[in-house]
């Protein structure tokens, strides 16, 4: 496993100005949750502070022409906080839209905390994206995690949201209590059937002060290893990419949401989790070219890729190349760039032949 981030920013990534509503309004106690710790913000977010906060945030942010800017109310269960507070926060966000500072408003909530009246209100204030904390699409995992809602609630919430022009997001977790490779795969497959517009993937971490921390100390819960979490997230990423569902985040953001030193007790945390996942998926794609037995007779190979995929092909600290050399016995691997290839498409060559491995074909054929 390689451990380094290039910190790259995609040109189409929106600028999200996050306001954390820690645990506010949430009557549940999911075993993994310590929203006060996750948000890192013990003080209540006040509607009257939004204007100044947005102004300050924009001064520090990297903005380029056409970059989508949004306000996000994350952390708790927005639609379960007192209605007057919801309205005050929504008005404050709508005001930023009027000022032309932002284009979108997004918020997160639970699948069992929306109804038509609530969604009408969100729409009236210009909310553009509703992210559901789905976490798992397997009832047994939801029960063991003390989520307090079922898969059916997620299905109903998704159907209801589809009656409105919101972008629908899912937040999914892997490695929850009771989660297995099979149930995580099932969650991925069911998510595809429900077809949200965007997905965030989070590995389950053991945070201090949570029920999970107690279970961990008592030996009742074992977190997934980083390798296992990366492997399953790569499966999800491949599956969702195949069905054209963008994965907009993988792993917690260490700068905004979590301080590993302060909050983390155990679990598959990595500051560049998303990159590890992307690299892992690309490694599988490269290796798929070696299925042809003859191909491995040559000791040197060259990989052609789009320059945008370079870091994924090589892997952090060259981990993909080192793995391939060790596992398949190649003495030399070279990389060359051609922007004639689509992003994430590859051509793997030895002295005698070239094998094209397009990302979409690879995902379709191998189903990871």
> Which residues make up the interface to ligand SF4 (CB under 6 A)?
23, 26, 28-30, 33, 35, 76-77, 110, 133
Give the nearer residue to ligand SF4 in terms of CB position, either 21 or 301.
21
| Nearest Cα residue to 75 out of 37, 31, 104, 108 | 108
Give the nearer residue to ligand SF4 in terms of CB position, either 30 or 347.
30
Instruction: Kindly state the smallest distance separating residue 77's Cβ from ligand SF4, in Å.
Output: 5
Instruction: Kindly state the smallest distance separating residue 201's Cβ from ligand SF4, in Å.
Output: 15
Chain-centroid distance of CA 149 in Å reads 21
Instruction: Kindly state the smallest distance separating residue 61's Cβ from ligand SF4, in Å.
Output: 27
Give the nearer residue to ligand SF4 in terms of CB position, either 34 or 350.
34
Chain-centroid distance of CA 356 in Å reads 29
Give the nearer residue to ligand SF4 in terms of CB position, either 35 or 187.
35
| Nearest Cα residue to 25 out of 79, 106, 65, 71 | 79
What's the Cα-to-Cα distance from 149 to each of 154, 166, 181, 221, 307, rounded to whole Å?
Answer: 8, 22, 22, 21, 45
**Eight-class DSSP state of 14:** P
Give the nearer residue to ligand SF4 in terms of CB position, either 39 or 183.
39
| DSSP-assigned states of every residue in 198-254 | EEEEEE--EETTSHHHHHHHTTS--PPPHHHHHHHHHHHHHHHHHTT--EEEES--T
Strand partners, 303: 335, 348
Alpha carbons within 13 A on the beta-carbon side of 61:
21
Instruction: Kindly state the smallest distance separating residue 52's Cβ from ligand SF4, in Å.
Output: 26
Instruction: Kindly state the smallest distance separating residue 74's Cβ from ligand SF4, in Å.
Output: 10
d(CA 172, CA 195): 13
Instruction: Kindly state the smallest distance separating residue 198's Cβ from ligand SF4, in Å.
Output: 18
Instruction: Kindly state the smallest distance separating residue 288's Cβ from ligand SF4, in Å.
Output: 37
Evaluate whether 73 touches 22 at the Cβ level (below 8 Å): no
Give the nearer residue to ligand SF4 in terms of CB position, either 132 or 250.
132
CA-angle at 227, arms to 244 and 29, nearest 5°: 75
Give the nearer residue to ligand SF4 in terms of CB position, either 32 or 269.
32
d(CA 318, CA 283): 11
Instruction: Kindly state the smallest distance separating residue 342's Cβ from ligand SF4, in Å.
Output: 38
Both tokens of 10, joined, read 């995609």
| Nearest Cα residue to 296 out of 356, 359, 348, 361 | 348
Instruction: Kindly state the smallest distance separating residue 143's Cβ from ligand SF4, in Å.
Output: 14
Give the nearer residue to ligand SF4 in terms of CB position, either 133 or 177.
133
Give the nearer residue to ligand SF4 in terms of CB position, either 204 or 311.
204
């Amino acid at each position: 496993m390689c451990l380094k981030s290039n910190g790259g920013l995609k040109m189409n990534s929106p600028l999200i100005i996050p306001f954390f509503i820690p645990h506010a309004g949430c009557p549940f106690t999911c075993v993994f949750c310590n929203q006060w710790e996750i948000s890192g913000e013990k003080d209540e977010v006040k509607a009257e502070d939004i204007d100044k906060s947005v102004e300050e945030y924009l001064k520090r942010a990297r903005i380029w022409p056409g970059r989508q800017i949004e306000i996000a109310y994350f952390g708790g269960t927005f639609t379960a906080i007192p209605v007057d507070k919801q309205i005050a926060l929504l008005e404050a966000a709508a005001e930023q839209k009027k000022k032309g500072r932002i284009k979108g408003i997004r918020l997160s909530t639970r699948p069992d905390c929306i109804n038509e009246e609530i969604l009408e209100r969100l729409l009236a204030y210009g909310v553009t994206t509703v992210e559901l904390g789905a976490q798992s699409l397997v009832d047994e995992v939801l029960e063991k995690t003390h989520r307090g809602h079922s898969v059916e609630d997620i299905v109903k919430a998704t159907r209801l949201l589809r009656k409105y022009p919101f972008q629908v997001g899912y937040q999914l977790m892997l490695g929850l209590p009771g989660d297995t490779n099979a149930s995580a795969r099932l969650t991925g497959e069911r998510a595809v059937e429900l077809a949200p517009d965007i997905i965030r993937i989070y590995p389950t971490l053991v945070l201090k002060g949570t029920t999970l921390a107690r279970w961990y100390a008592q030996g009742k819960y074992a977190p997934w290893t980083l390798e296992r979490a990366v492997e399953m997230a790569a499966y999800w990423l491949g599956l969702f990419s195949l069905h054209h569902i963008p994965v907009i985040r993988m792993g917690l953001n260490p700068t905004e949401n979590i301080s590993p030193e302060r909050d983390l007790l155990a679990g598959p945390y990595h500051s560049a989790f998303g990159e590890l996942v992307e690299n892992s998926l690309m490694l599988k794609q490269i290796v798929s070219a070696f299925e042809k037995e003859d191909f491995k007779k040559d000791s040197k190979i060259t990989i052609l890729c789009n320059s945008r995929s370079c870091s994924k092909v090589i892997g952090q600290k060259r981990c993909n190349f080192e793995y391939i050399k060790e596992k398949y016995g190649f003495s030399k691997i070279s990389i060359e760039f051609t922007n004639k290839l689509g992003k994430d498409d590859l051509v793997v060559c030895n002295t005698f032949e070239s094998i094209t491995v397009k990302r979409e074909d690879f995902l379709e054929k191998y189903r990871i």
